[in-house]
Amino acid sequence: MTTPIQQLTQLGQSLWYDNIQRRLLDSGELAAMIARGDIRGVTSNPTIFHNAISKTSDYDSALVPLALSGWDAESIFWQLAVEDIRAACDLFAPLYAETYGVDGYVSLEVSPYLANDTVKTLEQAKELWATVGRSNLMIKIPATKAGLPAIRQAIAAGINVNVTLIFSIERYREVIEAYMSGLEDRILAGGDIEYVHSVASFFVSRLDSKIDPQLPAGSPLLGKAAIANAKLAYAVFQETFNSERFAKLQLSKGNFQRPLWASTGTKNPAYPDTLYVDTLIGPATVNTVPPQTLDAFRDHGTAAMTLTEGVDECRAQVAELEKLGISLQKVTDELEEEGVKSFADAFTALLDSLEARRQSAADQATPILATVKEAVATLEAKSAAQRMWQVDPTLWTDDPAGQAEIKIRLGWLKLPESSRAAIAEINAFAKTVRAEGIQNILLIGMGGSSLGPEVFSLVFGAQNFAILDSTDPGQVAATATRFTPETTLYIVASKSGGTAEVMAGFDYFYHLSTQKFGDAAGSRFIAVTDPGTSLEKLAQERSFRKVFNADPMVGGRYSALTHFGLVPAGLMGIDLEKFLASAEKMMKQCAADVPAARNPGLVLGTVMGGCALAGRDKLTILADEQLASVGSWLEQLIAESSGKLGKGIVVVDGEPRYEANSSAYGPDRLFAYLRSDGGLDAFAASLRAAGHPVLTFDLADPYDLGGEIFRWEVATALACALLEVNPFDQPDVQIAKDIAKAKIAEFRANGKLSAGEFVSSEAPDFASVLNNFLANTRPGDYIAINAYLPRNPELDALLQSLRAAVTKKTGLPTTLGFGPRFLHSTGQLHKGGADNGVFLQITADPEADFDIPGQGLTFGTLERGQALGDYEALASRGRRILRIHLPKPGAVGALAETLNT
């Protein structure tokens, strides 16, 4: 059984949708309406955009980078409008092709401020046509006296035109004349008219709204004028487009200028809600309907050939109106004037609203707006986004070795699309694991192989997942207690395949598994690694359950959207398609052809890089509770990418909060608020009031994290372009590894590990040593607390107290890293970044220690060797460092007390 809409389409009329907004595009609702055949085009106008932009938050994410870049409200409007129109055009492109250009159009109106300016109307029509760049675009030009010559010239230029604000039949004749003359002009100039299309938008219901109040109660003419006027206009259409003149144009493949019935929503509740659709159905016409009218017609509309019925009666009704002293000419003149004013007023209201929101967005970053604007201009002048997408390594470095590395490290740019190929395999594997009743997932990995999955588990609330990224015996033991071989699937994740900490963790848990499963222990393990690594070979030798090969063109800290992140995410039950869709949406906004000021990743990159160059190099992360873990991922991404050549951005994550106007927050601070529930809104506002820039990133849904990952990756890469450092290498990490290896080799040779330099927390002069060390600081410094201790809530709380005490003592920001985890995160910045780090290394005698199976040493020995390697590497770079040794991990609580007394 056909629907009313299908029947209407069969009668030769096309329903277009008088509505557009980003939510319809992003949700897939508009695409679904097209697929169902509900609509065959879209129209827009200033009022529609006013409602879409000013009365929703749909555009906020797009508006913010434009505001930070210094764009004015009207420029922002046109950018947002063009984005929507382009997206809608692309959705309608198949219908446009299928109908050979009859349907599938999306209309964008010139500024209503130009309604009485022929020259500027034509200029903007050409500009919008070129900017949108879609053949199924229609430019809306009002049928004012000044608009008519612009219509003719636009048609002659090959621009599709939706002629809007037509009320009178006399003006309609002039519109047809402008259209035909434009086609003739184009032919004379040697142009092709086959693909030039136009519609003439006749406004319907407004005529009844204007005339009905002038009629006596009970008049038979109530609700008749608008339909009569439209039917008489259709008669003019039939007459004119059956003329000899148009027949000549048809020989050159000229197209009808179809009448389009606009303003067809019923405004009088006494009239049927489908009145202006049911009564105006005929071939070669369009009816553009608002949402409520579309729903009504779909539900109970009547599709029948009505447009040519009762034309003589319509003429009599018009004549009767004239007898009553109601001049249609006067009424339609007034309606045209009111229509122009109404759209201009809506446009003014829209711009006023946009200006208020632009100002609100800019107010987040008042102290740095000039810096950001200048930095955006710098990256734009460098064609930075385009060169990044073209994999042009000269954007970052002139060094041949660095350029070679960059060429094999930009695969992450296409991961939102390319990683989709892995979804089916990952989901099938996860389904099998769940079916077998495996309860827990433990990922053994370091840095980029583990931080992303940990964030996913905490943001999405996965209770059965954890990571092991430590060699601390206390942490390994606690992890083993929870993740036993009987209940656990172990993910061994390493890009290189030979990471020391990962192999130590694997050896330990594989040994436990062999005690339970014997030769079948490998069935409890899977590997995620690059193709051809030693880990892949090991997995084959030990009969791992599965090996997932990640994209080798992606570096570790940019790998959250590769198998390193997606395999754990799939095992957690995260919808990978939805997650990658979020990332893809951001990817498109960061594309090479997007204006620099509209590119969210680029603008954030200019904020970070520009501020760092200007002395605001302490990027301080604020986060609502659900998003608190994201900072650790950002810390690795940004610090390891930027911290080299004596430069870098210091990420201050998880810091205790202080009074907004306290000395703890100096002029070197830039704040980023990751917002989910608004729990820190008041604090962020107080920081702004105190003169600090605080950028807010709204993540209303956990799946928004996919987009944020991509945004921050782009931002980090482009911030490094400003800093002129290579974001894809880590040249200063190896020194600590080499020293640690030497320490371990020393232990294996003589069974003893050197104690290294340290001060005991139990030494009589400890307090003075610590205080004297912290006195050796300068403005612009930060204190890095690097604790080789178990990472657990109890010790974290004690170390947070220490951070607060250090800041109280020095007025400086603090960072906190658990060793050896932080070596794969901030280690590069500490050794290769600016000399503004002051390092407190904390070690402790473990409460219990045990062997790493097959390695001839204990976890405690490995951890101590790594701590010594880190210490000596920092010392060799002339860094200010003090190692504090504790009798046991829990003694760290006394350090804060020492500073506070």
Alpha-carbon 667 to chain mean position: 29
Across 577-603, b (16+ Cβ under 10 Å) vs e yields eebbbbbbbbbebbeeebbbbbbbbbb
272 CB-side CA count, 13 A:
13
Asked if residue 844 lies in contact with residue 891, where contact means CB atoms within 8 angstroms, the answer is: yes
Paired with 528 in beta bridges are 493, 548
Amino acid in the structure at residue 490:
Y
Question: Which two three-digit tokens encode residue 355?
Answer: 């200006």
Asked if residue 715 lies in contact with residue 605, where contact means CB atoms within 8 angstroms, the answer is: yes
Task: Give yes or no: 431 in active site.
Answer: no
The active-site residue out of 55, 126, 140, 831 is 140
Rounded Cα–Cα distance for residues 77 and 355 (Å):
10
Q: What angle do CA 257, 261, 267 make, to 5 degrees?
A: 165
Decide the pairing of beta strands 198-203 and 257-262: parallel
Tell me which residue of 893, 892, 867, 895 sits closest to 881, measured CA to CA.
867
Rounded Cα–Cα distance for residues 528 and 492 (Å):
6
Paired with 547 in beta bridges are 527
The secondary structure of 370-413, three-state, reads: HHHHHHHHHHHHCCHHHHHHCCCHHHCCCCHHHHHHHHCCEHHH
Q: What is the DSSP string of 480-499?
A: HHHS-TTTEEEEEEESSS--
Decide the pairing of beta strands 851-852 and 857-858: antiparallel
Question: Which two three-digit tokens encode residue 369?
Answer: 């707006």
Give the residue carrying structure tokens 């930027």.
642
Question: Which two three-digit tokens encode residue 489?
Answer: 């699937």
Rounded Cα–Cα distance for residues 110 and 139 (Å):
7
Rounded Cα–Cα distance for residues 17 and 33 (Å):
10
SS3 of residue 639 by DSSP: helix
Question: Which two three-digit tokens encode residue 92?
Answer: 């309608």
Q: Establish whether the linkage from the previous residue to 595 is cis, with ω within 30° of 0.
A: no
In which region does residue 123 sit, left (phi positive, over 0), alpha (psi from -120 to 50) or beta (all else)?
alpha
What is the radius of gyration, based on Cα positions, of the chain? 34
Sorted by sequence, the CB contacts under 8 Å of residue 47 that are 6+ apart come out as: 342, 343, 346
In eight-state DSSP terms, residue 781 is -
Across 273-289, b (16+ Cβ under 10 Å) vs e yields bbbbbbbbbbebbbbbb
* Helix-then-strand count for the chain, H and E: 37, 24
Asked if residue 869 lies in contact with residue 770, where contact means CB atoms within 8 angstroms, the answer is: no
Backbone phi and psi for residue 842, each to the nearest 5 degrees, phi listed first:
-120, 125
SS3 of residue 113 by DSSP: helix
Tell me which residue of 583, 545, 296 sits closest to 432, measured CA to CA.
545
Q: What is the DSSP string of 585-631?
A: HHHHHTSTTS-GGG-HHHHHHHHHHHHHHTT--EEEEEE-GGGTTHH
Amino acid in the structure at residue 253:
K
Asked if residue 106 lies in contact with residue 137, where contact means CB atoms within 8 angstroms, the answer is: yes
Tell me which residue of 275, 154, 162, 266 sits closest to 209, measured CA to CA.
266
Q: Active-site residues: which are they?
A: 140
